[in-house]
């Protein structure tokens, strides 16, 4: 993909973990590929740690290289990439430092992209400071999650940022929307006559969406203990994936057509009655256990976590969509830390045939299913039944695979790389619009309020397992189970 779109990419939090692990590696990969970034495009890192550009480039050399190029680092490409990078030492509390930033970027070409890889408490001060020196014109601003602590705080941030930047200038990033299988889910549904007629309540029995992590809170104990899994993962990633799975066909793939359909799904979510929260929501917290033979501590003993913490590290939900296509189909959402495996996947369980002349396996729930794996390996797998070789009509489960790394010769684009290119080129379809965000917060708030006011602690689960038993029991009430339990 060739481009002549000049840009100046200003990275706040330029020495932070997100910048080192994701943002700068993604920009390097786009640079290395050739033609994806305009030759004139510049990257201006902003931080208060390094003293000068040379010091910052040494920091980048030390901290970014481990995260780039699965197939090895191209030293020539890396050297030319570093030439794109400038550095401004900036104290967010000093207005005169923003004047220095303005002077540093004033003569640089193209659209300005301000990426706020900082805590959400800094979003509004940074935006005000940018506006005070005239840097909110000809600009786009990227906001990382979490955007607020609840609906009220989210609205406060959006109101303040919206006074400075127009909605079409604001890019609320959710990196799961940039993953290749999510893009292929849209292609699968809306590009093939095979699947779209089946994508409805008459043929789908249930849908599972899981984002599981082996890691704990690592060095983020202070942040996580005031956030929890519901805010950190459900309100954004899981509900965004659900809206992609369940949306109606848009009339085109332009930004507002796609986001209008996602919004309709979020607004059609059946409200959670506080009296039913115990039936449709499970919260858990990991205790000491082991992952792949390595002992791990309990959440309450992690650095930065309160010893009597009731913050949830696991959430499982049963969600219903009150519209014509999905009425009566349960969507089961699940996320957690210190689980048995690192996996993100969408499982579409189709209904069994109404009558089988071939034997009971054809009547088994899940005999026909579509599994869309988002991580660690990105694949789409369709399960169906086939006759086993030999005498008799004995059925066995078989699958058809789309393994992207095997089928497509060219390398896959990482989620952040795709999304950063979309920001530079002004494509909003894969970013969260404000009304989507508000609808998601509005739906989770009854659960947040019930859990924050409850005297009941989260249900315990041992690190290295798949969460509390109550999660499995919730699915069993609907005659189904999580995918790994069936296997």
For residue 288, give every residue at least 6 positions away whose Cβ sits within 8 Å of its Cβ, in sequence order, or none. Answer: 295, 296, 297, 298, 301, 462, 463
Instruction: Select from 15, 12, 19, 21 the least CA-distant residue to 68.
Output: 21
Residue 232 known to bind ligand:
yes
Residue 150 known to bind ligand:
no
Q: Between helices 24-33 and 75-82, what is the axis angle to 10°? A: 120
State how far the Cα of 201 lies from the Cα of 353, in Å rounded to an integer: 14
197: Cα separation from own chain's centroid: 28
237 flagged as catalytic: yes
Reduced DSSP (H G I as helix, E B as strand, rest coil) percent helix, strand, coil of the chain, to 5: 40, 20, 40
Please report which helix (H) or strand (E) contains residue 378, including its range.
Answer: none
CA angle, 191 then 192 then 197, to 5°: 120
Instruction: Select from 438, 10, 79 the least CA-distant residue to 236.
Output: 438
For residue 479, give every residue at least 6 positions away whose Cβ sits within 8 Å of its Cβ, in sequence order, or none. Answer: 365
For residue 230, give every residue at least 6 positions away whose Cβ sits within 8 Å of its Cβ, in sequence order, or none. Answer: 283, 312, 315, 444, 447, 448, 451
Instruction: Select from 48, 46, 68, 50 the least CA-distant residue to 59.
Output: 50
State how far the Cα of 483 lies from the Cα of 349, in Å rounded to an integer: 10
Residue 145 known to bind ligand:
yes
Residue 74 known to bind ligand:
no
- DSSP, collapsed to helix, strand or coil, labels residue 221 as helix
Residue 196 known to bind ligand:
no
For residue 34, give every residue at least 6 positions away whose Cβ sits within 8 Å of its Cβ, in sequence order, or none. Answer: none
CB 211 within 8 A of CB 403: no
The residue assigned the tokens 């779209």 is: 196
Residue 307 known to bind ligand:
no
Catalytic one among 49, 63, 128, 237? 237
Look at phi and psi of residue 43 and say left if phi exceeds 0, alpha if psi is from -120 to 50, else beta: beta
Residue 175 known to bind ligand:
yes
- For 63, the token pair is 């901290």
State how far the Cα of 487 lies from the Cα of 485, in Å rounded to an integer: 5
Task: Detail the residues annotated as belonging to a binding site.
Answer: 48, 91-92, 145, 175, 179, 213, 232, 337
Task: Detail the residues annotated as belonging to a binding site for substrate.
Answer: 175, 179, 213, 232, 337
Any idea which residues carry the catalytic annotation?
237
Task: Detail the residues annotated as belonging to a binding site for NADP(+).
Answer: 48, 91-92, 145
């Amino acid at each position: 993909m060739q481009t002549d779109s000049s840009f100046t990419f200003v990275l706040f939090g330029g020495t932070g973990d997100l910048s080192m692990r994701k943002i700068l590696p993604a920009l390097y990969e786009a640079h290395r590929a050739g033609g994806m970034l305009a030759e004139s495009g510049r990257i201006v890192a902003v931080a208060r740690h390094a003293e000068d550009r040379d010091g910052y480039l040494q920091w980048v050399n030390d901290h970014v290289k481990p995260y780039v190029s699965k197939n090895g680092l191209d030293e020539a490409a890396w050297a030319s990439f570093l030439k794109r990078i400038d550095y401004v030492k900036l104290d967010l509390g000093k207005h005169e430092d923003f004047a220095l930033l303005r002077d540093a970027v004033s003569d640089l070409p193209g659209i300005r992209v301000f990426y706020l890889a900082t805590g959400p408490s800094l979003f509004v001060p940074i935006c005000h400071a940018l506006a005070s020196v005239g840097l909110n014109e000809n600009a786009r601003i990227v906001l990382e999650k979490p955007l607020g602590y609840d609906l009220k705080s989210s609205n406060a941030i959006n109101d303040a940022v919206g006074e400075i930047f127009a909605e079409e200038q604001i890019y609320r990033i959710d990196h799961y929307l940039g993953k290749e299988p999510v893009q292929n889910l849209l292609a699968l549904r809306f590009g093939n006559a095979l699947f779209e007629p089946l994508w409805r309540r008459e043929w789908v029995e249930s849908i599972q969406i899981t984002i599981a992590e082996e890691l704990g809170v690592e060095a983020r104990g202070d942040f996580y203990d005031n956030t929890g899994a519901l805010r950190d993962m459900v309100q954004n990633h899981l509900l965004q994936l659900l809206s992609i799975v369940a949306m109606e066909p848009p009339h085109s793939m332009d930004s507002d057509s796609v986001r209008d359909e996602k919004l309709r799904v979020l607004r059609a979510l059946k409200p959670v009655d506080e009296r039913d929260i115990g039936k449709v929501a499970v919260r858990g917290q990991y205790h000491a256990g082991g992952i792949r033979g390595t002992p791990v501590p309990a959440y309450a003993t992690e650095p930065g976590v309160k010893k009597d913490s009731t913050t949830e590290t696991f959430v499982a939900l049963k969600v219903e969509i009150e519209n014509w296509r999905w009425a009566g189909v349960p969507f089961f959402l699940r996320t957690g830390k210190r689980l048995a495996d690192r996996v993100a996947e969408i499982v579409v369980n189709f209904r069994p045939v109404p009558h089988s002349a071939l034997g009971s396996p054809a009547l088994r729930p899940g005999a026909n299913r579509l599994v869309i794996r988002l991580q660690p390996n990105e694949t789409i797998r369709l399960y169906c039944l086939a006759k086993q070789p030999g005498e008799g009509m004995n059925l066995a489960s078989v699958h058809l695979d789309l393994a992207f790394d095997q089928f497509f010769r060219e390398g896959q684009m990482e989620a952040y790389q795709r999304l950063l290119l979309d920001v530079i080129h002004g494509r909003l379809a894969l970013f969260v619009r404000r009304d989507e965000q508000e609808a998601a917060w509005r739906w989770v708030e009854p659960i947040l309020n019930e859990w924050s006011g409850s005297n009941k602690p989260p249900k315990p689960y041992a690190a290295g397992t798949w969460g509390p038993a109550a999660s499995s029991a919730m699915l069993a009430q609907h005659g189904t189970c999580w995918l790994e339990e069936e296997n």
